[in-house]
Amino acid sequence: MTIAGFDSRQLALFRTVVEAGSLTAAARRVHVSQPAVTAAIQKLEGALGVTLLERSARGVTPTDAGRKLLGHARAIDALMSEAVADVTERHEPLGPLVIGASTTIAAGLLPTLIARFRELEGDVGVRLVVGNTGEILDQVRSRELPLGLVEGPSRAPRIRLERFGDDTLLPVVAASRERRIALESTPVLWREVGSGTRAVVEKALRRRGRRPLPMDLELGSTAAIRRAVALGLGLGFLSRWSIGDALDAGRVRVAPLPDLAIERRFSWASASGELTGTAARFRAFAQRERPSLGH
């Protein structure tokens, strides 16, 4: 399939570029680097044999050919969405959604996602099994769960893993706190021992030389941490996926400690082979919805 070098994703990107007015802005919008956009557009131009954009120091503007292509790109975009909508349309009522998730995800990400899914699909029943990553993986392996959404692992035996997206654990403090945060003397709000989130946070802090202090607090859930942060009790770590509301409300803000942003991955887990019915539908839905979730 190396033949064409011309597909709808390139067109969608081209559209974004024109609408954003610059390669850089488009790159930001789709969360890739600017050179990636440069390369993709060049490839598209090469495939068509036509210059599509007039480059300048202030951005890009479409050439005549580019303007023509823009129209087609929009039409194709529309047709693609229509195809998804049409094919995805359900005829028989869906069975309940059975899904396992690790704590952070179950608390932060899934509620939104499930709510939107039910908006679209009607009142599907939901059984959400919460556990740590290992527990969920085991239950997927033994077919107790058709589908899991977990933090971290990049591979697990006898299981099919697919990437959901990347997450960032951001250091946050109360919005009222002074600008400079002294890492050594600010209380840290921990999750309980055994939590996957705690493990990665511990590791990252140790790398920075931060040792546990008596003034640190240990809390049993992400929600508790969020509340504690808002109350000014210290520095907490919150997932980018679950942080939105708190930021919007203006109660908390991201601490100016850029080295402390912790990257990790969320992955789908399913038993090898066939994923069907409600679970398949939910996974596909979530995957499409993802770009609109995190900021």
Q: What is the binding site for DNA (CB under 7 A)?
A: 1-2, 22-25, 31-36, 38-43, 55-60, 163, 272-274
- Is residue 158 within 8 Å of residue 141, measured between CB atoms? yes
Query: How many Cα atoms are found within 13 Å in the side-chain-facing hemisphere of 126?
Result: 18
Cβ neighbourhood burial of 26 (10 Å; 0-12, 13-18, 19+): buried
- Output the smallest distance, CB 72 to a second copy, in A: 4
Q: Does 39 bind a second copy (CB under 8 A)?
A: no
What are the E-state strand segments in 41-179? 53-56, 59-62, 97-101, 126-130, 147-151, 159-174
Report the 10 Å Cβ neighbour count for 171.
25
Rg of the chain, C-alpha, whole Å: 22
- Which position among 32, 213, 231, 249 is part of the footprint of a second copy (CB under 8 A)? 32
- Output the smallest distance, CB 23 to a second copy, in A: 14
Q: Does 83 bind a second copy (CB under 8 A)?
A: yes
List the single partner that 169 binds among DNA, a second copy, none, CB under 5 to 8 Å by kind. none
Q: Does 110 bind a second copy (CB under 8 A)?
A: no
Q: Does 120 bind a second copy (CB under 8 A)?
A: no
Taking the C-alpha atoms of residue 166 and residue 150, their distance in angstroms, rounded to an integer, is: 12
Q: Does 68 bind a second copy (CB under 8 A)?
A: yes
Taking the C-alpha atoms of residue 131 and residue 194, their distance in angstroms, rounded to an integer, is: 11
List the single partner that 22 binds among DNA, a second copy, none, CB under 5 to 8 Å by kind. DNA
List the single partner that 221 binds among DNA, a second copy, none, CB under 5 to 8 Å by kind. none
User: What pairs with residue 160 in β-bridges?
Assistant: 270
DSSP string, 267-287: EEEEESS---HHHHHHHHHHH
Nearer to DNA, 76 or 261 (CB): 261
Structure tokens given for 288? 């499409």
Nearer to a second copy, 21 or 46 (CB): 46
Q: Does 281 bind a second copy (CB under 8 A)?
A: yes
Interaction residues for a second copy, span 11-30 (CB under 8 A): 11, 13, 30
- Output the smallest distance, CB 162 to a second copy, in A: 7
Nearer to DNA, 121 or 138 (CB): 138
Structure tokens given for 46? 């090469």
In the three-class reduction of DSSP (H, G, I as helix; E, B as strand; rest coil), residue 192 is classed as coil
Contacts with a second copy by CB under 8 A lie at 1-9, 11, 13, 30, 32, 36, 40, 45-51, 64-65, 68-69, 72-73, 75-76, 79-80, 82-84, 86-88, 91, 162-163, 165, 275-276, 280-285, 287-288, 290-291
